[in-house]
Amino acid sequence: MEPLDGNAIGGALLDYFGQEMTAAWGSCAHCGASARVAQLAVYLTAAGAVVRCRVCGQVVIVVVTVRDTTRVYHRDFLLRDAPHSRPQHPGR
């Protein structure tokens, strides 16, 4: 499966953060590579999206929508330009 770029999750990130996030810079918690969200590798699934670092291939963001609620888990992609994000609840 060929990955899409980070623009594929732009709408979900806009819903979650309340502002355009594909141009935001961040770094991979695994290898330290810096990139804009738009440069990340996105794999769309039926349940949401898995986003990987293009340098090391590790999962850095997971986006899911359950019962019309979007959840963005980005603990492994350290966003530098992020507005105050909603609290993340691992395991939920």
Q: What is the mean pLDDT of the chain?
A: 89
The amino acid at residue 48 is: G
Which of 52-56, 75-79, 84-88 is the least confident region? 84-88
Q: What are the CA-CA distances from residue 35 to residues 18, 23, 28, 47, 52 (Å)?
A: 21, 9, 8, 25, 11
Q: Please give the pLDDT value at position 67.
A: 87
Please tell me the distance from the alpha carbon of residue 53 to that of residue 27, in angstroms, as a whole number: 9
Highest mean pLDDT among 12-21, 49-58, 78-87: 49-58
Can you give the pLDDT at residue 87? 44
Domain ranges in the chain? 4-79
Contact by Cβ (8 Å): 40, 77: yes
pLDDT in tens, 9-47: 999 999 999 999 999 999 999 999 999 999 999 999 888
